Protein backbone atom coordinates (compact mmCIF):
# COMPACT_ATOMS: atom_id res chain seq x y z
CA UNK A 1 0.00 0.00 0.00
CA UNK A 2 1.41 3.36 -1.04
CA UNK A 3 1.45 6.11 1.54
CA UNK A 4 0.00 9.44 0.59
CA UNK A 5 2.62 12.18 0.64
CA UNK A 6 2.59 14.76 3.40
CA UNK A 7 1.69 18.09 1.80
CA UNK A 8 3.29 21.16 3.32
CA UNK A 9 2.54 24.77 2.46
CA UNK A 10 4.98 27.54 3.36
CA UNK A 11 3.80 31.15 3.46
CA UNK A 12 6.17 34.06 3.90
CA UNK A 13 6.26 37.48 2.25
CA UNK A 14 10.00 37.04 1.57
CA UNK A 15 10.83 34.91 -1.49
CA UNK A 16 14.35 34.35 -0.13
CA UNK A 17 12.90 32.64 2.95
CA UNK A 18 10.68 30.47 0.77
CA UNK A 19 13.69 29.52 -1.36
CA UNK A 20 15.61 28.59 1.81
CA UNK A 21 12.76 26.25 2.86
CA UNK A 22 12.72 24.77 -0.64
CA UNK A 23 16.47 24.09 -0.58
CA UNK A 24 16.38 22.67 2.96
CA UNK A 25 13.59 20.17 2.30
CA UNK A 26 13.79 19.34 -1.41
CA UNK A 27 15.06 15.81 -0.77
CA UNK A 28 12.96 14.96 2.29
CA UNK A 29 10.06 13.38 0.41
CA UNK A 30 7.39 15.95 1.19
CA UNK A 31 5.10 17.53 -1.37
CA UNK A 32 6.09 21.18 -0.95
CA UNK A 33 4.12 24.28 -1.90
CA UNK A 34 5.03 27.94 -1.47
CA UNK A 35 3.28 31.29 -1.58
CA UNK A 36 3.76 34.86 -0.45
CA UNK A 37 0.02 35.61 -0.38
CA UNK A 38 -2.41 34.60 2.41
CA UNK A 39 -5.40 34.53 0.04
CA UNK A 40 -3.54 32.11 -2.24
CA UNK A 41 -2.59 30.05 0.80
CA UNK A 42 -6.24 29.57 1.80
CA UNK A 43 -7.09 28.47 -1.74
CA UNK A 44 -4.15 26.04 -1.90
CA UNK A 45 -5.03 24.45 1.44
CA UNK A 46 -8.52 23.71 0.16
CA UNK A 47 -7.61 22.65 -3.39
CA UNK A 48 -4.55 20.54 -2.55
CA UNK A 49 -5.55 19.03 0.78
CA UNK A 50 -2.56 20.50 2.61
CA UNK A 51 -1.56 18.68 5.82
CA UNK A 52 0.81 21.23 7.40
CA UNK A 53 1.13 24.99 7.01
CA UNK A 54 4.28 26.83 8.06
CA UNK A 55 3.69 30.58 8.12
CA UNK A 56 5.66 33.63 9.10
CA UNK A 57 4.16 35.82 11.81
CA UNK A 58 5.06 39.18 10.24
CA UNK A 59 3.41 39.62 6.86
CA UNK A 60 2.03 42.78 5.24
CA UNK A 61 -1.54 41.58 4.60
CA UNK A 62 -2.16 39.99 8.01
CA UNK A 63 -0.21 38.58 10.92
CA UNK A 64 0.54 34.90 11.22
CA UNK A 65 -1.85 34.75 14.15
CA UNK A 66 -4.67 36.27 12.07
CA UNK A 67 -3.84 33.90 9.22
CA UNK A 68 -3.84 30.81 11.46
CA UNK A 69 -7.03 31.85 13.27
CA UNK A 70 -8.86 31.97 9.94
CA UNK A 71 -7.19 28.77 8.73
CA UNK A 72 -8.28 27.02 11.91
CA UNK A 73 -11.90 28.02 11.32
CA UNK A 74 -11.79 26.93 7.68
CA UNK A 75 -9.67 23.78 8.06
CA UNK A 76 -9.41 22.62 11.66
CA UNK A 77 -7.41 19.51 10.77
CA UNK A 78 -4.50 21.33 9.14
CA UNK A 79 -1.44 21.36 11.39
CA UNK A 80 0.00 24.82 12.12
CA UNK A 81 3.63 25.90 12.56
CA UNK A 82 4.61 29.54 13.06
CA UNK A 83 8.03 30.90 12.23
CA UNK A 84 9.01 34.29 13.51
CA UNK A 85 11.93 36.58 14.07
CA UNK A 86 9.92 38.32 16.79
CA UNK A 87 9.68 35.48 19.27
CA UNK A 88 8.15 36.56 22.50
CA UNK A 89 5.95 35.23 25.22
CA UNK A 90 2.95 37.40 24.29
CA UNK A 91 3.03 36.37 20.63
CA UNK A 92 3.40 32.71 21.59
CA UNK A 93 0.50 32.81 24.04
CA UNK A 94 -1.77 34.60 21.58
CA UNK A 95 -0.84 32.18 18.79
CA UNK A 96 -1.65 29.18 20.96
CA UNK A 97 -4.86 30.60 22.41
CA UNK A 98 -6.24 32.28 19.30
CA UNK A 99 -5.05 30.06 16.47
CA UNK A 100 -4.01 26.81 18.17
CA UNK A 101 -0.54 26.99 16.64
CA UNK A 102 1.23 23.77 17.57
CA UNK A 103 4.88 24.48 16.93
CA UNK A 104 7.18 27.49 16.74
CA UNK A 105 10.48 28.10 15.02
CA UNK A 106 12.56 31.22 15.40
CA UNK A 107 14.33 32.97 12.56
CA UNK A 108 17.00 32.16 11.75
CA UNK A 109 16.01 28.51 12.11
CA UNK A 110 18.22 25.45 11.98
CA UNK A 111 17.28 23.05 9.21
CA UNK A 112 17.54 20.10 11.60
CA UNK A 113 15.05 21.79 13.95
CA UNK A 114 12.69 22.36 11.01
CA UNK A 115 13.01 18.70 10.00
CA UNK A 116 12.38 17.54 13.59
CA UNK A 117 9.18 19.60 13.81
CA UNK A 118 7.92 18.36 10.43
CA UNK A 119 8.81 14.72 11.20
CA UNK A 120 6.90 14.86 14.50
CA UNK A 121 3.83 16.25 12.77
CA UNK A 122 4.21 13.76 9.90
CA UNK A 123 4.35 10.88 12.36
CA UNK A 124 1.13 12.02 14.01
CA UNK A 125 -0.62 12.60 10.68
CA UNK A 126 0.35 9.12 9.44
CA UNK A 127 -0.77 7.50 12.71
CA UNK A 128 -4.13 9.24 12.44
CA UNK A 129 -4.48 8.13 8.82
CA UNK A 130 -3.76 4.51 9.79
CA UNK A 131 -6.29 4.70 12.60
CA UNK A 132 -8.87 6.24 10.29
CA UNK A 133 -9.05 9.40 12.37
CA UNK A 134 -9.07 11.81 9.47
CA UNK A 135 -11.56 14.46 10.47
CA UNK A 136 -14.37 15.13 8.08
CA UNK A 137 -14.58 18.88 7.99
CA UNK A 138 -17.73 20.81 7.24
CA UNK A 139 -17.76 22.57 3.92
CA UNK A 140 -17.13 26.23 4.55
CA UNK A 141 -17.38 29.08 2.16
CA UNK A 142 -16.73 32.68 2.82
CA UNK A 143 -14.69 35.72 2.18
CA UNK A 144 -11.84 37.27 4.07
CA UNK A 145 -11.57 41.02 4.36
CA UNK A 146 -10.55 43.79 6.71
CA UNK A 147 -13.13 45.97 8.39
CA UNK A 148 -12.94 49.75 8.86
CA UNK A 149 -10.65 49.34 11.89
CA UNK A 150 -8.23 47.10 9.98
CA UNK A 151 -9.26 43.92 11.78
CA UNK A 152 -9.35 40.76 9.67
CA UNK A 153 -12.93 39.50 9.30
CA UNK A 154 -14.09 36.13 8.02
CA UNK A 155 -17.64 36.02 6.73
CA UNK A 156 -18.57 32.41 6.28
CA UNK A 157 -21.37 30.04 5.63
CA UNK A 158 -21.17 26.41 6.74
CA UNK A 159 -23.00 23.41 5.39
CA UNK A 160 -22.59 19.74 6.19
CA UNK A 161 -22.02 17.29 3.38
How would CATH label the architecture of 7-136?
A: 3-Layer(aba) Sandwich (3.40)
Domain coordinates of the chain in residue numbers?
7-136
* pLDDT of 160 above 50: no
pLDDT of residue 139: 45
pLDDT of residue 142: 54
**Helix, strand, coil percentages in the chain from 3-state DSSP, rounded to 5:** 40, 25, 35
CA neighbor of 81 nearest in space, from 93, 64, 98, 97: 64
Task: Tell me the pLDDT tens digit for each residue of 14-52.
Answer: 999 999 999 999 999 999 999 999 999 999 999 999 999
Interval 55-79 mean pLDDT? 95
In what order do the strands lie in the sheet containing 52-56? 31-35, 7-11, 52-56, 79-84, 103-106
The DSSP bridge partners found for residue 152 are: 146
* pLDDT of 97 above 50: yes
* pLDDT of 53 above 80: yes
pLDDT of residue 16: 97
Provide the CA 155 distance to its chain's centre, in angstroms. Answer: 20
Task: Tell me the pLDDT tens digit for each residue of 79-94.
Answer: 999 998 876 788 888 9
Task: Tell me the pLDDT tens digit for each residue of 98-137.
Answer: 999 999 999 999 999 999 999 999 999 999 998 886 544 4
pLDDT of residue 66: 96
Task: Give the count of beta carbons closer than 10 Å to the beta carbon of residue 158.
Answer: 12
Amino acid sequence: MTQLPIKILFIDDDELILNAFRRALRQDGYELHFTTDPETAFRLVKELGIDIVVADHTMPEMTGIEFFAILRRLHEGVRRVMITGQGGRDITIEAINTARVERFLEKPWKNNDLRDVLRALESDIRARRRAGLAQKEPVRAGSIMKDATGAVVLQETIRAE
